[in-house]
């Protein structure tokens, strides 16, 4: 049984407060959590680089966005209090903030969403191939130019895709070629010369490999319907060699893993932070737009008005983009719930397949060590240098007691009033089993802290 102590202070330390009677209704259920309070911090430097790059992009996005949801993502409060949490793996963070969950518009949300998606895709592809199935990657695109808006190009892609898969012919082909499941997604780039460029990607899970003749017939049929849809949308018919491409993989390893991680944005850049893909003058992703704008801002220059306008056009148009699994696919492929050990093993395997050294596995539990009240959070919510400074200081703490002391002392030195606490945060397994676990905890904590209690004890059993 874990006891979670929460101290409300008025110039005193947690040790000087008195202990009230234990609460017995925390909403946590019969859950036992053990916290290692003395583990030396072990930081994945690649992850820290990735996080720093995402924060730099996020900061620029805040300055130019017209979206309220994006403006508040990881910035505005979701709950009454914002918590500073410490973890023995060096991944301290602020808890209780809004999350847009927009992998298209928020660099921080993309790290979370695509990190999970990468593992899903990798496990799904490996499981399917191990069972004797085969994989195919479909890529469809349209001809485009700089004069066309994002909405026009996206409409062409959407109409072409619907014309290809929402037909009786598609149903017949799925049966003929043994297509059991699909996963579909988008890829977006922009270029100075040719404007918006969208790909519609689809991963097909087949019950068997196709012969060369079958593969060609399938691709030709898909192109025919795709091309008709593009013309229907009022765009130029695609060229045969560029409009549709269908590739097959039948064994797990480099090609299959690359296929899965490509759909989830690539191993080196997004998972490890060991490579920073920079925009070229020819083509760039929307997040690379943010990199270019950040460079201009850091150099004391005005941000390029054209790039700002292109970003705003993109953030409106990207609201229509969706990635999706076919019905029943996640359960059939064994990814409706992924055990923590299975997740870690796949992460290590993907590192190896990418030719990278996997970081040392670190067992850790997130523990909230300081609560910041609403008015005080406003003082630092948009000052990202200060926020990063707080997290960097907490990262260096070797145990949870030191983290609690450091977090509250650093916040106090910045003129931010905080409440020392020690709250075990949810991990992936608990979230999956008890989806309301976190919300129930926060309600109890908010009621306890802001009702004026000097000390509250929450028990998990």
DSSP-derived secondary structure for 249-274: E-STTHHHHHHHHHHTT-IIIIII--
- Token pair of 442 as six digits: 């926060």
pLDDT of residue 269: 39
For residue range 171-183, list pLDDT tens digits in order.
999 999 999 999 9
- Token pair of 3 as six digits: 């006891």
Q: Is the pLDDT of residue 451 over 50?
A: no
Residue (of 201, 200, 198, 199) closest to 149 by Cα position: 198
- Let me know if 23 is exposed, middle or buried by CB neighbors in 10 A (0-12, 13-18, 19+): middle
Name the residue with higher pLDDT: 328 or 429.
Answer: 328
- Token pair of 184 as six digits: 């579909």
Question: If you average pLDDT over residues 418-423, what whole number do you get?
Answer: 90
pLDDT of residue 394: 94
CA distance 86 to 88: 7
pLDDT category at 207 given cuts 50, 70, 90 is: very high
Q: What is the DSSP letter of 275?
A: -
Highest-confidence segment of 260-264, 390-394, 437-441: 390-394
CA distance 160 to 225: 7
For residue range 302-342, list pLDDT tens digits in order.
999 999 999 999 999 999 899 999 999 999 999 999 988 88
Residue spans of alpha helices (H) in 285-364: 286-298, 305-317, 329-332, 340-353
Q: Is the pLDDT of residue 435 over 70?
A: no
Cβ proximity of 72 and 98 under 8 Å: yes
pLDDT of residue 260: 60
């Amino acid at each position: 049984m874990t006891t979670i102590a929460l101290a409300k202070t008025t110039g005193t330390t947690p040790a000087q407060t008195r202990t009230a009677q234990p609460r017995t209704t925390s909403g946590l259920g019969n859950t036992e959590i053990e916290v290692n309070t003395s583990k030396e911090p072990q930081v994945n430097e690649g992850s820290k680089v990735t996080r720093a790059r995402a924060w730099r992009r996020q900061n620029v996005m805040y300055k130019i966005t017209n979206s309220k949801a994006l403006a508040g993502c990881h910035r505005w409060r979701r709950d009454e209090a914002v918590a500073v949490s410490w973890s023995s793996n060096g991944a301290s963070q602020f808890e209780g903030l809004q999350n847009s969950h927009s992998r298209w518009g928020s660099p921080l949300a993309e790290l979370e969403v695509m990190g999970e998606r990468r593992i899903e895709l990798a496990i799904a592809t490996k499981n399917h191939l191990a069972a004797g199935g085969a994989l195919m990657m479909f890529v469809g695109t349209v001809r485009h130019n700089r004069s066309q808006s994002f909405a026009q190009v996206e409409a062409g892609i959407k109409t072409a895709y619907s014309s290809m898969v929402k037909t009786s012919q598609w149903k017949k082909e799925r049966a003929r070629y043994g297509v059991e499941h699909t996963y579909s997604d988008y890829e977006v780039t922009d270029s100075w010369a040719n404007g918006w460029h969208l790909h519609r990607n689809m991963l097909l899970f087949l019950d068997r490999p196709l012969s060369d003749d079958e593969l060609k017939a399938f691709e030709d049929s898909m192109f025919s319907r795709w091309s008709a849809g593009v013309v229907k949308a009022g765009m130029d018919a695609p060229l045969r060699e560029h409009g549709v491409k269908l590739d097959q993989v039948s064994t797990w390893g480099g090609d299959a893993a690359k296929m899965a991680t490509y759909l989830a944005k690539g191993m080196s850049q997004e998972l490890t932070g060991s490579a920073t893909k920079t925009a070229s003058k020819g083509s760039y992703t929307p997040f690379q737009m943010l990199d270019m704008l950040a460079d201009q801002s850091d150099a004391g220059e005005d941000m390029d008005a054209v790039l700002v306008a292109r970003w705003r056009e993109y953030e409106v148009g990207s609201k229509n983009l969706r990635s999706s699994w076919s019905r029943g696919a996640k359960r059939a492929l064994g990814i409706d719930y992924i055990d923590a050990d299975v997740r870690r093993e796949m992460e290590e395997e993907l590192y190896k397949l990418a030719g990278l050294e996997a970081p040392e596995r670190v067992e850790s539990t997130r523990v909230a060590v300081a609560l910041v009240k609403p008015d005080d959070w406003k003082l630092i919510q948009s000052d990202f240098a200060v926020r990063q400074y707080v997290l960097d200081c907490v990262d260096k703490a070797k145990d949870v007691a030191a983290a609690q002391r450091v977090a509250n002392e650093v916040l106090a030195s910045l003129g931010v009033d905080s409440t020392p606490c020690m709250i075990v945060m949810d991990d992936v397994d608990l979230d999956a089993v008890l989806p309301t676990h976190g919300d129930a905890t926060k309600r109890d904590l908010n009621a306890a802290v802001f009702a004026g209690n000097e000390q509250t004890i929450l028990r998990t059993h």
